[in-house]
Structures are given as structure tokens and as C-alpha cells.
């Protein structure tokens, strides 16, 4: 009997060694109860399921009507005429496809003169198309197409968050409880995002359909005429006033969602540290900065556009580039200290290790700060900023609490990898290219009277024209944002590899796991959702890359 007991004890001890208590996955009633809550579909999930069934039902009925009614469908339902004509033209289009391809080959320019002629013809055709384009209809289609695509991605990710079984890839280092807590946090954020996005889309649709933009432009003009005696010739002043009013309205409409996010979702999951007074103090500061910086910058842009004629896009692009660089310089030095306290990192092991790493890499470290991020949230971060020979490193106090010295140094090594590989300069260059494309494209729409008339405008103010153009530009903007995220994820992999080559691979992996757990990051990302939205690769992908034997650390 004593022998059996000894064997059982030895077996238990061996099992304990195989499965450390820290990452244990033993049955637990509290954890099981949390898993049951996460699996349970709530009211919002029922609404989503109802919409899915409704779409399937409508598609099914439409198909039946198309089969039964055939050619008489457009007569009974005139709204289906464009779709009917398109479907009817498909067989002929397919049959004549070889002829179309041959015609394209035949018309392909074989000299610079032919290319110039073709470009002139295309430009003339494009100009004519702009005169006839149904702008309001196109904007509604673009807006809803973008919204539905992103809502579909949100729902795919939400379905992942309802899964209570940990993915095998994270099971070795993320406990069941940590995984469920992250999923619960993700579901609460998902609910808020779905409701907020639906509200914002309804708001955008109402603004477009009911011509609220020209109404507000007229109201601002009437107020200026009545109280200030300023007429329509003061377009820049009127534009700045419109900007202030529109910002206040959008802030008020977004306020309930911001309050819920901060004081319900973030507080529920242990992140929020703000008081109501601090929240509204931050809001007031942000509004003041928006008005006192944004107003003059907007006025300057409108003045430049008005003075530089058809080539305005070159000057506006150069001005915006200068403004962006100025903000990068003044934000950490003058603006951010309005919200957070920056103190020199105290002397000690951490400061010595960071300074040694900076010296080793030739990084021109001028100042090393710790910031009171815990004043508002328990989320953590570290970053590098500055130009030329005046560089600074900032470490959040929450990061110091959550990670060891070696792990923080590994994170700083990652940030210095961005500096060493000129990632910031690359991203700035990409932003400048995107900005130039935006202004150049806008130059083709700024004087298009049909666009303004389509949205109910009787005049053609530049600011309002740019707002309408942004609606049209939305699909391309989504594609460029996706491309920017792809570039950013590539940079993150490169910075991780840089930190590993410094000899911090193990510490970097450990810190990423800790930060993912502490910040309750998404542990089970949907591939499409993460590819479209994430500027940083998912945790498992980063760990796999860090553990790649082809990326060998330095031996010195």
C-alpha cells in the first residue's frame, strides 16, 4: 500500500513538472463559467444572425422572381433594370471577348506620339465622364460597400472571439484564463465598434441623402452675415467657422461612445485609470488644440489653393509635408506634455542598460524619459522620437511594472531597429506619396460644378469640395491604408529580427507574450481581419519569426 502511494506521489510530481502551475489548464468552475458567458450569443449576435438570414432570404426570393418572371422583371420592378441589362449583356460580352482583346492589342500605342494621342483621348473622355457622373449615387455606393466589407470583417473576428478553445499555437504560453479574459475584452470592444460604426454609417448616409452639408454651410454663412456683417466673399473665414462647428457636432455625437469605451469597457477589464474630470479636461485640451492649430492651418491651405491656380496640388502637398514635419517636432516636446508628465528615468540598472545599448549602436540618445501612462490606463508602451542628433527614448511606467529589465531592453532594441533601418523615414515617404496622389486627384474635381450640384450646393467652396471628394476617394483610401499596414507589419518583423540579432531574441519573445497577456490583446485573430486592420503582426506570427533559425543572433 505504501509502495502504491509512493508511486502515485511520484507520478503527480512528474505531472507537475510537465505542466507548470503558471500555465495550468485544470478544470476550474470560475473559468468554466467565464467560458460559458463567452460562448453565449447576446442580443447583438442575434441581430447579426437575423440580418444574415434576411440577406439570404432576399437573395433567394430575387432569384426565384428572376427565373419565373424573366424579361418582364424590369417592367414590374423598374429598379432592377440596370442589373437586368448588365446580366443580359454578359453572354454577348463573353462571345465578343476575343474581338475586344484583339482591338486592344491593335490600338496599343507603338510610339510616343501614339501614346500622347491616347493619353489626350483618355483625358478628354475622363473629363466628359466627370460632367455626367452621378456623384451622390456613387458616394452612397462607395460608402456602403466599404462599410459592409469592414462590418463583414468585424463579424468574422467576433465569431473567433466566441471560441473558448485556445488555438494550439498559443496554448504553451497563454493560460486558459488569460485567453478567456482577452476574448471577453475583445467581445466588449467588438460590440461597441459594431454599434458605433452602424451609427456613424447611418449618420453619413443621412448627411448625404438629405443635403445636410449645404444646409450647415448656409447656416454658418447666415450667422456670419447677421452677427459679423461678413458676406460670401469671406470664404476662408466661413470655412474655418464651418470647420469649428462641424468639429463640435462630431465630438458631441461621438461622446457617448467615447464615454462608454472609457468608463464601461476599459474600466470593466481593469485598464481605465481616468476620472471624469481628467477625461473632460483631455477633451477640452484636444478641442482647443484642434481649433487653435487646425483653424490657422486650414486657412493657410485654402489661401494657398486660391492663389496657386491649377497647379495648387504641388503647393498644397509641399505645405502639408512641412506641417507634418513641424507637428512631428513639436508634438512630443510641447503638445504631449500637456497630457502626460515626462520625468528623467532614474539612475539604476534599467537606465544603465538602455544607455549601454544606445552607445553600442551609435544611437544619439539625448534624453531618456519615463512617462506616467498609468495616469490614464494600464496599457504599456515604449517609443523613440526625434530628428538628427537629438533623439529621445520614452518608457511607460506601466511597462516598467510589467517587464524585467532585460525584456524592456529587448523592446528598446526593437524600437532602435526601426531607427537603424529608417522605417520612420520610409513611412513618411509613403505618406507623402499618398498625400500627393490625394491632392493631384482632387485637382480634377475641385472645379467640377456637377459634383457640387449633385450634393445640393449652389456655390463651390474649396473646403466643401474637398469633403465631397473624400467621399469619392474612400475606396482608394481603404486600399492605401491596407498597403500601409502591410508595409508596417513588414517593418515590425524587421525590427524584431534586429533585436534578436542584438542577442535579445528570448527576452523579446518573453516580453511580447507578457504584453499580449497584460494588455489582453487578441489571441485568436481572424486572418482576413488582421491582414486588413493590423499594423502589427499577430503574436504567433511574431514569435514564429523570432524563433526562425535562419535569423541567428550575433555571438559577440
482-498 per-residue burial string, b: 16 or more CB within 10 A, e: under 16: eeebeebbebbbbbbbb
Annotated catalytic residue 548:
no
CA distances 43 to 314, 326, 491, Å, are 51, 47, 40
CA distances 69 to 74, 77, 550, Å, are 9, 11, 63
HSE (side-chain half, CA atoms, 13 Å) at 274: 24
Angle (CA) 385-389-391 rounded to 5° is 25
Query: Pick the catalytic residue: 407, 496, 518, 526?
Result: 496
Q: Are 464 and 399 in contact (CB under 8 A)?
A: no
Which grid cell sits at 376? 490614464
Query: Pick the catalytic residue: 235, 415, 507, 518?
Result: 415
Hey, is 162 helix, strand or coil?
A: coil
47-84 per-residue burial string, b: 16 or more CB within 10 A, e: under 16: ebeeeeeeeeeeeeeeeeeeeeeeeebbeeeeebeeeb
Q: Is 491 annotated as a binding-site member?
A: no
Candidates 392, 380, 381; CA nearest to 419 is 392
Rounded CA-CA distance 41/65 in Å is: 34
Burial grade of 131 (CB within 10 A; 0-12, 13-18, 19 or more)? exposed
Annotated catalytic residue 159:
no
Rounded CA-CA distance 493/522 in Å is: 18
Hey, is 367 helix, strand or coil?
A: strand
Q: Is 418 annotated as a binding-site member?
A: yes
Q: Is 492 annotated as a binding-site member?
A: yes
CA distances 423 to 367, 429, 526, 528, 534, Å, are 21, 10, 27, 25, 17
DSSP track, 488-531: HHHHHHHHHHHHIIIIIHHHHHHHHHHHHHHTT--SS--HHHHH
Name the one residue in this structure whose C-alpha cell is 475622363: 126
- Residue ranges for the binding site for Zn(2+)? 414, 418, 492
Enumerate the active-site residues: 415, 496
- Residue ranges for the binding site? 414, 418, 492
Amino acid at each position: 500500500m505504501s509502495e502504491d502511494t509512493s508511486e502515485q506521489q511520484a507520478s503527480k510530481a512528474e505531472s507537475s513538472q510537465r505542466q507548470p502551475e503558471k500555465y495550468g489548464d485544470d478544470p476550474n468552475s470560475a473559468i468554466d463559467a467565464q467560458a460559458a458567458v463567452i460562448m453565449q450569443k447576446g442580443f447583438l449576435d442575434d441581430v447579426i444572425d437575423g440580418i444574415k438570414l434576411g440577406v439570404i432570404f432576399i437573395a433567394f426570393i430575387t432569384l426565384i422572381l428572376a427565373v419565373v418572371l424573366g424579361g418582364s422583371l424590369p417592367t414590374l420592378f423598374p429598379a432592377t433594370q440596370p442589373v437586368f441589362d448588365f446580366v443580359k449583356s454578359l453572354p454577348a460580352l463573353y462571345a465578343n471577348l476575343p474581338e475586344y482583346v484583339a482591338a486592344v492589342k491593335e490600338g496599343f500605342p507603338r510610339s510616343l506620339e501614339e501614346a500622347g494621342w491616347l493619353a489626350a483621348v483618355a483625358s478628354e473622355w475622363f473629363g466628359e465622364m466627370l460632367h455626367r457622373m452621378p456623384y451622390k449615387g456613387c458616394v452612397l455606393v462607395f460608402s456602403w460597400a466599404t462599410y459592409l466589407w469592414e462590418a463583414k470583417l468585424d463579424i468574422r473576428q467576433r465569431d473567433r472571439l466566441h471560441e473558448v478553445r485556445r488555438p494550439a499555437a498559443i496554448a504553451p504560453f497563454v493560460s486558459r484564463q488569460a485567453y478567456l479574459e482577452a476574448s471577453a475584452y475583445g467581445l466588449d470592444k467588438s460590440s461597441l465598434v459594431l454599434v458605433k460604426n452602424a451609427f456613424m454609417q447611418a449618420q453619413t448616409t443621412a448627411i448625404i441623402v438629405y443635403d445636410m452639408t449645404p444646409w450647415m454651410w448656409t447656416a454658418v454663412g447666415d450667422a456670419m452675415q447677421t452677427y459679423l456683417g461678413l458676406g460670401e466673399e469671406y470664404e476662408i473665414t466661413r470655412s474655418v467657422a464651418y470647420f469649428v462647428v462641424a468639429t463640435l457636432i462630431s465630438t458631441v455625437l461621438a461622446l457617448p461612445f467615447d464615454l462608454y469605451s472609457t468608463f464601461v469597457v476599459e474600466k470593466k477589464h481593469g485598464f481605465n485609470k481616468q476620472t471624469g474630470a481628467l477625461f473632460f479636461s483631455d477633451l477640452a485640451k484636444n478641442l482647443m488644440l484642434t481649433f487653435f492649430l487646425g483653424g490657422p492651418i486650414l486657412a493657410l491651405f485654402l489661401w494657398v489653393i486660391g492663389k496657386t491656380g491649377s497647379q495648387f496640388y504641388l503647393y498644397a502637398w509641399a505645405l502639408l509635408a512641412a506641417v507634418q514635419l513641424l507637428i512631428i517636432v513639436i508634438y512630443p516636446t510641447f503638445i504631449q506634455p500637456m497630457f502626460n508628465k515626462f520625468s528623467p528615468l532614474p539612475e539604476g540598472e534599467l537606465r544603465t542598460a538602455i544607455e549601454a545599448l544606445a552607445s553600442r549602436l551609435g544611437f544619439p540618445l539625448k534624453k531618456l524619459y519615463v512617462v506616467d501612462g498609468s495616469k490614464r490606463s494600464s496599457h504599456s508602451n515604449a517609443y523613440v522620437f526625434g530628428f538628427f542628433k537629438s533623439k529621445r527614448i520614452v518608457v511607460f511606467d506601466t511597462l516598467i511594472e510589467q517587464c524585467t529589465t532585460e525584456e524592456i531592453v529587448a523592446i528598446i532594441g526593437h524600437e532602435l531597429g526601426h531607427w537603424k533601418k529608417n522605417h520612420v523615414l520610409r513611412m513618411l515617404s509613403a505618406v507623402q506619396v499618398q498625400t500627393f496622389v490625394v491632392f493631384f486627384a482632387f485637382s480634377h474635381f475641385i472645379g467640377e460644378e456637377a459634383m457640387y450640384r449633385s450634393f445640393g450646393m449652389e456655390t463651390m467652396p474649396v473646403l466643401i469640395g474637398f469633403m465631397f471628394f473624400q467621399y469619392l476617394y474612400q475606396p482608394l483610401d481603404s486600399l492605401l491604408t491596407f498597403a500601409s499596414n502591410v508595409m508596417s507589419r513588414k517593418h515590425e518583423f524587421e525590427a524584431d529580427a534586429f533585436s534578436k540579432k542584438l542577442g535579445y531574441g528570448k527576452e523579446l519573445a518573453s516580453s511580447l507574450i507578457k504584453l499580449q497577456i497584460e494588455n489582453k490583446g487578441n489571441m485568436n485573430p481572424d486572418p482576413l481581419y488582421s491582414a486588413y486592420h493590423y499594423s502589427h503582426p499577430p503574436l504567433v506570427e511574431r514569435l514564429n519569426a523570432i524563433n526562425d533559425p535562419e535569423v541567428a543572433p550575433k555571438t559577440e
